[in-house]
Amino acid sequence: MELEKIIRDTAKNLLKLSAIVLPPTVEKALRDAYERTPEGPGKVQLKAIIDNIEAAKRLKKPICQDTGVVSFYLKVGDDFPLKSGLKRILTEATVEATREVPLRPNAVEILGSNTGTNVGTNIPWVVIELTEGDYLEITAFPKGGGSTNVSQVKMLSPGLGMKGVLTFYIDSLLNAGAAGCPPYFVGVGIGGGENVCVELAKKALLRPIGVRAEGELGKLEEKMIEAGNLLKIGAMGTGEGPTVLNVSIETACRHPASLPVAIVFSCWALRYSTARVAKSGEVEYLTHRGIVLGT
Ligand code: SF4
């Protein structure tokens, strides 16, 4: 099969998989939370979430009515062809997935209306990392509006250091409350500039749950999970069950005068899906191995 068609079909399938089946580490974190939550309203909400996850798989329907705004994160090998055509191919895949899955149209032009296709000005958003090799790695990352609405970015005074980061995280969680459908997965980006810290925080959400950053940052992640859960916002705001299931931090060097920090929330429905397409046309699914949804 022609490589362009393979990429388009793979991207379309990744959008379908991400809308319908959570990555296994995300589902496990939710199931573990259900097991350790005592009887009560929090457990009832977690049970509803798990029933929903199972129903979505059985019925092959999206996990949530809000199927998100579409981003793709790519790793493009220097020996992989079709580079200049990738954005067009991914845009076509998004239009087809919107029609066929179907996905809710979520792309609204800033001075216009809903395009109806999930594509429009700069959407799908495509982030490209160049790498060695002859493969293309595609991650589809649709993100819902509820948790996006409570995400925050702030330029801290560098003197505040990691204590300032922790305080900003807690303030962001208090501000979010239950509005972003907790329990939350949280990506934290520290450093770079305004745009860099937000991209880092979004990328942090793609790290498998439970894989800690090295050294002091890993300890900070654990401290943030513990501190977040002391707030007792709870599953869907019930005050019971976990508030935060995971925190992942990514960093970049900062300007001496700046400490930019982004706190990007994901609701319990942290959806993404990754596959690798070789130059030969061979496709390997990485996050959703062996899961076939068919048509
Ligand atoms: S925040 Fe998440 S679970 Fe809640 S409505 Fe949006 S996509 Fe769905």
Q: Where are the domains of the chain?
A: 3-21+63-144+271-285, 146-266
Phi-psi region of 60 (alpha: psi -120 to 50; beta: other; left: phi over 0): left
Report how far ligand 1's centroid is from the alpha carbon of 191 (Å): 28
Report how far ligand 1's centroid is from the alpha carbon of 103 (Å): 14
Which atom of ligand 1 is found nearest the CA of 144? Answer: 7
Average pLDDT over all residues of the chain: 97
CB 268 within 8 A of CB 183: yes
Using alpha carbons, select from 256, 84, 231, 236 the residue that is nearest to residue 166.
231
pLDDT of residue 292: 82
Q: Which two tokens stand for residue 207?
A: 């790290």
pLDDT tens sequence across 73-111 = 999 999 999 889 999 999 999 999 999 999 999 999 999
User: What does DSSP assign to residue 123?
Assistant: B
Q: What is the three-class DSSP state of 69?
A: strand
Q: Which H or E run includes 139?
A: strand 135-143
The set of protein residues with a Cβ atom below 6 angstroms from ligand 1 is 64, 66, 144-147, 180-181, 267, 269
With the most atoms of ligand 1 within 8 angstroms of its CB, the residue from 22, 45, 143, 147 to mutate is 147
Query: What stretches of 101-187 show up as alpha helix (H) in DSSP?
Result: 145-148, 161-176
Which atom of ligand 1 is found nearest the CA of 67? Answer: 7
pLDDT of residue 82: 87
Report how far ligand 1's centroid is from the alpha carbon of 111 (Å): 25
pLDDT of residue 144: 96
Q: How far is Cα 7 from Cα 16, in angstroms, rounded to an integer?
A: 14
Which residue, judged by its Cα, is nearest atom 4 of ligand 1? 181
Report how far ligand 1's centroid is from the alpha carbon of 179 (Å): 9
Q: How far is Cα 117 from Cα 17, in angstroms, rounded to an integer?
A: 18
Residue type, 36: R
Report how far ligand 1's centroid is from the alpha carbon of 84 (Å): 34
- Section 163-173 average pLDDT: 98
Is the confidence at residue 295, as pLDDT, over 70? no
Report how far ligand 1's centroid is from the alpha carbon of 80 (Å): 36
Q: How far is Cα 178 from Cα 194, in angstroms, rounded to an integer?
A: 26
Report how far ligand 1's centroid is from the alpha carbon of 281 (Å): 35
Which residue, judged by its Cα, is nearest atom 7 of ligand 1? 144
Which atom of ligand 1 is found nearest the CA of 143? Answer: 7
Which atom of ligand 1 is found nearest the CA of 66? Answer: 7
Report how far ligand 1's centroid is from the alpha carbon of 146 (Å): 5
pLDDT of residue 244: 98
pLDDT of residue 1: 67
Q: What CATH class does 3-21+63-144+271-285 carry?
A: alpha beta
Residue type, 213: A
Is the confidence at residue 245, as pLDDT, over 80? yes
Which residue, judged by its Cα, is nearest atom 2 of ligand 1? 267
pLDDT of residue 219: 97
Query: What stretches of 112-160 show up as alpha helix (H) in DSSP?
Result: 145-148
More confident residue, 291 or 128: 128
Give the chain's radius of gyration (CA, Å): 19
Using alpha carbons, select from 17, 20, 87, 74 the residue that is nearest to residue 276.
74
Report how far ligand 1's centroid is from the alpha carbon of 64 (Å): 6
With the most atoms of ligand 1 within 8 angstroms of its CB, the residue from 22, 181, 236 to mutate is 181
Is the confidence at residue 290, as pLDDT, over 80? yes
CB 56 within 8 A of CB 20: yes
CB 76 within 8 A of CB 131: yes
pLDDT of residue 22: 98
**Residue 9 contacts by C-beta under 8 Å, 6 or more apart in sequence?**
93
pLDDT of residue 210: 87
